[in-house]
Amino acid sequence: MFISLWWYGTAYSAPKTVIVLGDSLSAEYGLARGSGWVALLEQRLQQQKMPVTMINASISGDTTSGALTRLPALLDKYHPTTVVVELGGNDGLRGLSLSASETNFRAIISTCRQAKANVLLLGMQIPPNYGLHYTQQFSAMYVNVAKSAKVPLVPFFLDGVADKAELFQPDQIHLIAAAHPRLLNNVWPYLLPLLK
């Protein structure tokens, strides 16, 4: 039976559960707890009275391979309706095989679908010092995976912050808290349709 819940003139279906499967960019590395984009997302959902439970399953340093290994247990435990996949940055920074990363992304999406969960893929880019060919192929990987697997793609998760040195922690890899509202705004319009 379909149950509609009405808030602010918008119809939302029964309660949802969203897992964020990510790395340090989503795990609040170097930040005060509650200041990262996932926590900000949870706050926005509560403010809008949307019946969504957020599970931040992000681990600093995680790769597509590591996330794929731990995904089945997460799906079994939380039974999510949507999985937000924020991965690949560590694969790229380590110069790992793009074909292996792409295979892992496809397996992650397939595993989520078998568990009846939608997938939102967050696109990433890596610095140009890794070579023009590798950096172009890296960013194209997300487009190829999203298109062939027919999942929504945030074109570039770090859009609007990647080119602003003042928004980075001293390591020049991780972002300060002030950058995270922009990350949320980059994700929000792509995630919202999956929550209705």
Strand partners, 75: none
Is 24 tagged catalytic?
yes
Q: Which residue has the tokens 């499967």?
A: 21
- 38 and 58 in contact (C-beta within 8 Å)? yes
Catalytic residue among 4, 97, 133, 171: 171
Catalytic, out of 24, 26, 58, 101: 24
Residue position matching structure tokens 């997460």? 74
Active site residue 91: no
Per annotation, catalytic residue among 60, 65, 139, 174:
174
The answer to whether residue 65 is catalytic is no
Bridge-partner residues for 76, per DSSP? Answer: none
- Catalytic residue positions? 24, 171, 174
